[in-house]
Every structure is written in C-alpha cells, then in structure tokens.
Amino acid sequence: MIAQPLYLTPNEYLKLEEQSDIKHEYINGETYAMAGANDAHVTIAGNLFALLLSHLRGSGCRVYISDMKARIETINRFYYPDIMVTCDPKDQETSTYKRFPCLIVEVLSNSTEAFDRGDKFNDYQTLDTLQEYVLINTKQQRIDCFRRTNENLWLYQSYSTTQENFELKSVNFKGTLESLYENVILEQK
C-alpha cells in the first residue's frame, strides 16, 4: 500500500511552519523541505539584500531575505524567495508572508535551477504586482532578468561580465556586478 501525502490547508501549513526547525515550501496542500545553501549562494543573496536595503531606505518599500514567504493565493502556494521587495502597504498586514511583491530574486543552485526557471517562474507570474523576476548565477557572473510589460508579456535581459552594471527597474536600482559578487567564490561548473 502506498502512503498518501498529507494535505494541509494554508493555515495548517503556516502553524506548522512557525514550529518547524527547517523551512518548507507549500504547493497546493503539500510541503517540501528546503535544502541548505552554499557559501556563494548566501554571499550573493546577502550582498544584494544589503545593496537594496540601503537603496530603499525611506521609500516605503521593504526588502526581505530568504526567511520571508511569498504567498500566491490564486494557486495555493507559499515560496521562500532569496530576495523579495514589496512596496504595497497591504503587505504590512501579515508578518510571516507577503502577497504583493514587485521584485523577486532567486539565486540559482544545481538542485533548484530547473524549478526556479520553470514551474516556480510560472507560479510567480500569477502575482499581479510582480514587475520583475531575477535569477542570479553562482557559477559565473550572470544575471537573468525578466520584466513584465504593460501588455503582460515578460521581456528577458541578461547581464554578464561584458557589462559592469545591472539594473532592477522595478525598484529603480542600478548596481555593479562587482558589488553583487563581492567576496564570492564561484561554484565549479
């Protein structure tokens, strides 16, 4: 006999997550434990968080790092983005998740890259407030940026070592690859 997965309501998930020693993402009633991150991943996320925190100070926008959940109510999901920015005052109503991000960033790893580029990106696209989805590489200095147009299409722009700077238009931020990758030892391909 095959055991059936345990279905959790969003509220049951949130209660369990408060007590859990490890983080779980939630997809339509099922939970999935998250793996730990390596040095390059954590350093890149920390660098970007620090840059955005300084940039957004006093703007009314809030930047969150990996412990804040993004809730996608329309398709019953909770994810832990590496970086998330919300400028919507309604997001101050919830302390453990945010529903109205304008920017989501995922730092890629071998175990999550396909999901981050595929199903997770498709899920994030259902967030009406999301203007920009960014994937940051840990094997080479490269940023893949997807921006929503007024026609609800997603345009792709890549930044790499051929450019010194990158831009996150959703939060009017310009930075350098040097500052993003400061103290990062790139993973071996």
Question: How high is the pLDDT of residue 45?
Answer: 97
pLDDT, tens digit, 9 for 90 and up, residues 109-124: 888 888 999 999 999 9
Burial of 27 (0-12, 13-18, 19+ CB in 10 A): middle
Question: How high is the pLDDT of residue 189?
Answer: 67
| 36 pLDDT more than 80 | no
Query: Cβ distance 96 to 14 under 8 Å?
Result: yes
| 103 pLDDT more than 60 | yes
Question: How high is the pLDDT of residue 1?
Answer: 41
Query: Cβ distance 11 to 73 under 8 Å?
Result: no
pTM over 0.85: yes
Question: How high is the pLDDT of residue 4?
Answer: 47
Q: What percent of the chain has pLDDT over 90?
A: 76
Q: What residue type is assigned to position 189 of the chain?
A: K
pLDDT, tens digit, 9 for 90 and up, residues 152-179: 999 999 999 998 999 999 999 999 999 9
Question: How high is the pLDDT of residue 83?
Answer: 98
Domains of the chain, start order: 38-180 (3.90.1570.10)
Query: Cβ distance 44 to 184 under 8 Å?
Result: yes
The string of DSSP letters for 46-100 reads HHHHHHHHHHHTTSS-EEEETTSEEEEGGGTEEE--SEEEE--GGGGG-SSEES-
The string of DSSP letters for 127-188 reads -TT--EEEEE-SSSSEEEEEEE-TTS-EEEEEEETT-SEEEEGGGTEEEEHHHHTTT--PPP
pLDDT band at 40 (very low <50, low <70, confident <90, very high): very high
